[in-house]
């Protein structure tokens, strides 16, 4: 087999198709990452050239989906950026009152599900039975979604959580833990591409967590996705962004967001997304 090389025009071609399909912007610094993540796939297909693989992902949607599974970065953990869950627990959930409709939070870019299950734990503790609630959790990566749906993690994934929480919400089985069935039932995992113009979610939503996803998007994509979030959230609803992400102040004014600190934004009435 020939030595694999990722040439300029091949990288450019892959980056273009990845951005068009997912919004993920692959700068030149990501070249090694692309090479290392795709190389095993080329080897298993017995391809010697990235140009052949490029042709394949252009022609076969299933192969492109697989390439995206390999290229997306899916680092996550239970109660990551814990202050956001504290904010929910202390500032948002106590104000929720029983009403006809279901209270909904969306984990957008949920990866392997830890964020969504953390939200479910916080809701179970803070809303319990007094209000009907549901967690929607979506991602573009079909592999991480299947892990999320299974709800089985190595024990180390929960080692930083209080013991009482572990025994209440997880079944321990040797070196792994499994999310208990009653908690799993409150989380709804689905494939969803954030850059699609139509987002098939019932709105209005009460809370959106979209953390550590915007960092991979261009400013233009970020602005479009924010408009979608604005449209889907109810007035007074909250958006949570990751520690390295923020909404520029001119967009806050234009779209109708107020920054409450630490990546937490509140939707105020605005004309965005209409």
Give catalytic residue positions. 37, 139
Residue 72 makes contact with ligand SAM by CB under 6 A? yes
Q: Compare residues 51 and 149 and give the one whose CB is closer to ligand SAM.
A: 149
Minimum distance between the CB of residue 188 and ligand SAM, rounded to whole angstroms? 15
Nearest to 220 by CA among 11, 72, 74, 19: 19
Place of tokens 């007035």: 235
Nearest to 138 by CA among 178, 88, 183, 188: 188
Residue 23 makes contact with ligand SAM by CB under 6 A? yes
Residue 256 makes contact with ligand SAM by CB under 6 A? no
CA-based angle 13:15:19, to the nearest 5? 120
Please identify which residue in 54, 199, 213, 264 interacts with ligand SAM, judged by CB under 6 A. 213
Q: Compare residues 47 and 140 and give the one whose CB is closer to ligand SAM.
A: 140
Distance CA 48, CA 71 (A): 19
Minimum distance between the CB of residue 195 and ligand SAM, rounded to whole angstroms? 5
Phi and psi at residue 110, in whole multiples of 5°? -85, -10
Nearest to 13 by CA among 57, 43, 47: 57
Stretch that binds ligand SAM, among 27-35, 68-76, 150-158, 248-256 (CB under 6 A): 68-76
Interaction site with ligand SAM (CB under 6 A): 22-24, 72-76, 80, 109, 111, 115, 139-141, 144, 193-195, 211-213, 216, 242
């Amino acid at each position: 087999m020939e030595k694999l090389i990722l040439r300029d025009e091949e990288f450019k071609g892959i980056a273009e198709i990845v951005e068009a399909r997912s919004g993920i912007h692959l700068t030149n610094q990501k070249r090694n990452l692309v090479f290392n993540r795709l190389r095993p796939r080329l080897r298993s297909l017995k391809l010697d050239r990235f140009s052949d693989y490029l042709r394949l992902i252009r022609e076969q949607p299933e192969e492109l989906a697989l390439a995206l599974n390999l290229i997306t970065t899916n680092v996550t953990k239970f109660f990551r950026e814990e202050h956001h869950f504290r904010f929910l627990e202390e500032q948002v959930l106590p104000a929720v009152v029983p009403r006809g409709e279901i209270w909904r939070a969306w984990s957008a870019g949920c990866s392997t599900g830890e964020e969504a299950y953390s939200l479910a734990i916080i809701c179970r503790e803070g809303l319990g039975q007094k209000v009907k609630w549901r967690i929607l959790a979506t991602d573009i990566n079909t592999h991480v979604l299947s892990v999320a749906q299974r709800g089985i993690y190595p024990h180390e994934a929960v080692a930083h959580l209080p013991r009482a929480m572990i025994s209440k919400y997880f079944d321990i089985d040797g070196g792994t833990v499994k999310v208990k069935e009653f908690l799993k039932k409150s989380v709804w995992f689905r494939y969803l591409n954030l850059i699609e113009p139509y987002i098939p979610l019932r709105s209005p939503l009460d809370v959106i967590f979209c953390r550590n996803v915007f960092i991979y998007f261009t400013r233009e994509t970020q602005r479009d996705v924010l408009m979608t979030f604005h449209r889907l959230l109810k007035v007074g609803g909250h958006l949570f962004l990751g520690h390295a992400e923020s909404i520029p102040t001119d967009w806050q004014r234009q779209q109708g967001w107020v920054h409450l600190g630490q990546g937490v934004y509140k939707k105020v009435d605005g004309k965005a997304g209409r």
